Structure 1
Amino acid sequence: MDSPHQHELQTAIAAVQRAAHLSKAVLAAAGDRVSHIAKDDHSPVTVADFAVQALLTAALTAAFPGDAFVGEETADDLRANPALLDRVWTVLKEVAADTDLAESDGAPQIPDSPERLCTLVDRAGLGVPGTGRVWVFDPIDGTQTFLRGEIYAINACLLVDGEQTVAVVGLPNLSPQATYPVTDQSVDPDPKGGSILYGVRGRGAFRRPLAGPAGLVGDRLPRHEGTPEKLRFVTSTAAGSSSPGVNEKVAARLGMEYPGNDLLGWVPRWATLAMGYANVTVWAYARRERQGKIWDHAGAMLLFEEVGGKVTDVDGKAPDLKVGRKMVSNYGWVAAPPGIHGRVLETVREVLREGGQGHLLR
């Protein structure tokens, strides 16, 4: 890909490759005993979450020291739990010593001490988006599926003045040859398999194997037609934050198989849209005050836009990625090719009104 952001793209691909390698190694070493603690929202946080965020921040700080960072995790739990900090530090040292990574991207950049590790985690974990250059990370999207050895993602995005500019998504367990429907159980049987999706605004989106040098050119993902003949859905039947029954009713009215593709993590859902396994997704939170988190969407949704997709919220507004760590200016999501997006949007709004949930709309 010829792009003015080639350096950023190659650096991010190399970092995501290392992160994917690390995440697989943590899972393989833990077996049935994956270490985790509980966050305030009761979701599991693994050694891999902290180690991946530290690794991504270290690599991109070294390459772009003037950039800002936003990531999901803070180092509070690491500082409060010396055993957990030691485990994360040990994992990072093991990755740095792994000669298998030299073929793809040279010696991994890692923090030089546990204290520096915490500082790097916090550099992203306490960061907020805004103007200028901001890297956004989701170290492990789909932590529950990661713990089960299923589909999860590593998401990295460069925002420039709030605009998605560079996107790299690692899918360590999803084969480049996956077939419809893609679900959390669509695991690549090759332990060295997996995929990377990447894109730069205005330059298209691409898919390549996870393994291989960072400069390996992927296959350009085909663009979605303006008005597709067949609609395919991607949703999550496991995530419980969408208004009850909305997704099923929307799918039925639009003649889509339900659930179609079924993935817990938002990043794998956006990736599935980009790869063409699906061309429609909707999400209407059960409460208006629920908002998406920037790391679940930034970059991954750009990949869908780069294959011709249109993304708005349920009010028809474009994503606002400058307002904070939570996307407080947007309510829910509607994504589809441009020729059908308006129909999908109005169907979602009709279903909400008819179900007595019109108060959620603006």
Structure 2
Amino acid sequence: MGCFDFRSIMEDERYSQEFDVAIRVVHLACSLCRRVQEGLVSSSSDQVKSKDDDSLVTVADLSVQATVSWTLSEFFGGQNVSIVAEEDVRTLSKADSADLLEAVVCTVNQCLAEAPKFGLKSPDKALGPPQVLAAISRCSSTGGPKGRHWVLDPVDGTLGFVRGDQYAVALALIEDGQVAIGVLGCPNYPMKKEWLNYHHQHYQTMSKMSSSTLDSREEGCVIYSRRGSGETWMQPLIYGDKKLEWPNFARAIRVSSINDPALATFCEPMEKSNSNHSFTSGLAESIGLRKKPLRVYSMVKYAAIARGDAEIFMKFARAGYKEKIWDHAAGVLIVQEAGGVVTDAGGHPLDFSKGLFLEGLDRGIVACSGAALHEKIIGAVYASWDSSNL
């Protein structure tokens, strides 16, 4: 694919300001996450907490949410911004969370000090705990069918993040129930798709030993699109001491042209707690998928399809689990605008207008690089569902 100047992408006036700010703030958030992940992996940090539902939250989750919330509110006006996001301040309100709050405040201020590098505003003075807590608390919208709602997953795939592996920063704008903008930051996405099969730390080690070119080494990227554009773009990350100026160049990406199941690569969630691997395994066999499943943390799976590194993503949740809109909104749009198809397992479009959850979801989610593969999977779901153990 050819390269495009970032500025030419902004010439389309639909959501141009929102699109511009979203891409920049996700780049900024990815820079924050890389620093925090390196610290978590290289030290015995205790800055990881369990939430009330026993899932993990880190200083990065909370810091990214505060940073994105503060930036969107400053740019568009706090009274005019509706933000739906995963984290709340209850974790920071616990008696044993003083150190975590201190780390979040410090991390947010370090991150916002870098904002001008990405063409964003820094605060006039450092934010204190009240301002940081207020920014996190501001993300309390429940979405719905009317109006504009920003949807944020500050660190999608927190377990992968803590383990030094794949994760994503996901930001979407939903207007009147339709995803209008999707931005997906993938700080550890390897430039060679085969390296997705390896733990990120193993990749880094092998990359340092390699004499390969820059494009084959771990760089990370931000992928984004707008509804109706028919294009999805990818930019390399700007971080650390890299001598890249903002804006840097983006290139258009497209889904794979493979439509033979025997040649297709399919992704599924790493975690077994909320995904039925046995059903997807049986389904894969029934439609002739021969390759071993690519199990990757987070919405990086959507990125892999949009970039042509995989052809299928299937997720069938276990009984009682409800899919959240922030786990899919950005990824669904970037796949669709890159030429892919995403529906529920009944072949219906995903409905982002019902609030925090994908209400009415028919059995699961199926994302494919093209209609032919999608039709085969949907047909196989109907054929095998009655005998499944879901």
Per the normalisation by structure 1, the TM-score is 0.89
Structure 2 CA distance for partners of 1:244 and 1:22, relative to 1, 3 Å: closer
Cα deviation, residue 108, structure 1: 4.0
Rounded to whole Å, the distance in 2 between the matches of 1:72 and 1:183 is 28
Q: Which has the higher mean CA deviation after the structures are superposed, 345-354 or 162-171? A: 345-354
Partners in 2 of 1:50 and 1:42 — Cα distance? 16
C-alpha contact 2:255 2:307 (8 A) present in aligned 1: no
Q: Distance in 1 between matches of 2:387 and 2:322?
A: 23
Aligned to 1:139: 154
For 2:337 and 2:364, locate their aligned partners in 1 and report how far apart those are by CA, in whole Å.
Answer: 21
User: Which SS does the other structure have where 1:139 is aligned?
Assistant: strand
Q: Distance in 2 between matches of 1:173 and 1:220?
A: 20
Aligned residue in 2 for 1:215: 247
Q: CA deviation at 1:282?
A: 1.5
Q: Is the 8 A contact 2:189 2:300 kept in 1?
A: no
Report the Cα offset of residue 244 of structure 1.
Answer: 4.8
Q: CA deviation at 1:70?
A: 0.4
Q: Output aligned runs, 1:96-245, within 5 Å.
A: 96-98=112-114, 102-108=116-122, 112-124=127-139, 126-130=140-144, 131-175=146-190, 177-180=191-194, 182-183=196-197, 185-186=199-200, 189=204, 193-203=219-229, 204-211=231-238, 212-225=244-257, 227=259, 230-245=263-278
Matches within 5 A, 1:11-26: 11-26=21-36
Structure 2 portions without partners, runs of 5+: 1-8, 208-216, 239-243
Q: Is 1:37 equivalent to 2:49 in the alignment?
A: yes
Deviation, structure 1 residue 284: 1.6
How far did 1:254 drift?
2.1
Residue 111 of structure 2 corresponds to 95
1:28, distance to aligned residue in structure 2 (A): 2.6
C-alpha distance 12-201 of structure 1, shift in aligned 2 (>3 A): same
1:33 is paired with a residue whose SS is coil
Q: 1:352 to 1:213 in 2, by over 3 A?
A: farther
How far off is 1:246 after superposition? 0.9
Aligned pairs for 1:51-62 within 5 A: 51-62=63-74
User: Secondary structure at 1:316's aligned position in 2?
Assistant: coil
Q: Which moved more, 1:24-33 or 1:332-341?
A: 24-33
Residue 6 of structure 2 aligns with which residue? none
After superposition, the C-alpha distances for 1:14-57 in whole angstroms (9 at most, x for unaligned) are 11111111111122334232311111221211011000000011
The 1-side partners of 2:152 and 2:195 are apart by 27
Q: Would the alpha carbon gap of residues 311 and 323 (structure 1) be closer, same or farther in structure 2, given more than 3 Å must change?
A: same
Q: Which amino acid aligns with 1:11?
A: V
Q: Say whether the 8 Å CA contact 2:303–2:331 is kept in structure 1.
A: yes
Query: How far is 1:67 from its partner?
Result: 2.5
Three-state SS of the structure 2 residue aligned to 1:180 is helix
Task: Write the letter of the residue equivalent to 1:324.
Answer: G
- Structure 1 residues 244 and 106 mapped into 2: Cα distance closer, same or farther (>3 Å)? closer
Task: Pick from 294, 314, 317 the counterpart of residue 282 of structure 1.
Answer: 314
**Letter paired with 2:382:** R
Residue 197 of structure 1 contacts residue 207 of structure 1 at CA under 8 Å; is this kept in 2?
A: yes
- Residue ranges of structure 1 left out of the alignment (5+ in a row): 358-362
- Tell me if the contact between 2:189 and 2:218 (Cα under 8 Å) persists in the aligned partners: no
Amino acid at match of 2:104: V
Pairwise CA distance, 1:301: 1.0
Query: What is aligned with 1:360?
Result: none
The whole-number CA distance in structure 1 between the counterparts of 2:374 and 2:39 is 44
RMSD: 2.4
The Cα of 1:217 is off from its aligned counterpart by: 3.4
Per-residue deviation at 1:184?
6.1
- 1:308 is matched with 339
8 Å Cα contact 2:347/2:378 also seen in 1: yes
Paired with 2:269 and 2:218, the residues of 1 have a C-alpha distance of 27
2:321 maps to a residue whose letter is R
1:47 alignment partner in structure 2: 59
Displacement of 1:192: 8.2
Deviations 1:184-213 (A, max 9, x none): 625663898211101111221011101145
Aligned partners of 2:75 and 2:63: how far apart in 1? 18
SS in 2 for 1:325: coil
Structure 2 counterpart of 1:208, one-letter code: Q
Contact in 2 for aligned 1:54/1:111 (Cα 8 Å): no
Per-residue CA deviations over 1:262-290 (Å, capped at 9, x if unaligned) read 2022x111111111111112222221x32
User: What is the CA-CA distance between 1:72 and the residue it aligns to?
Assistant: 0.2
Question: Does the Cα contact within 8 Å between 1:137 and 1:295 map onto a contact in 2?
Answer: yes
Distance (whole Å) between structure 2 residues aligned to residue 259 and residue 132 of structure 1? 42
The number of residue pairs the alignment matches comes to: 351
| Structure 1 pair 292–183 and aligned structure 2 pair: CA distance change class (3 A) | farther
1:140 Cα shift?
0.4
Q: Deviations over 1:67-118 (max 9, x none)?
A: 21000000112133332211110111222344xx543335545973211211
Which whole-Å CA distance do the structure 2 matches of 1:213 and 1:159 have between them? 30
Between the aligned partners of 1:145 and 1:356, the Cα distance in structure 2 is 28
Query: 1 or 2, which has the higher helix percentage?
Result: 2
Identity %: 25
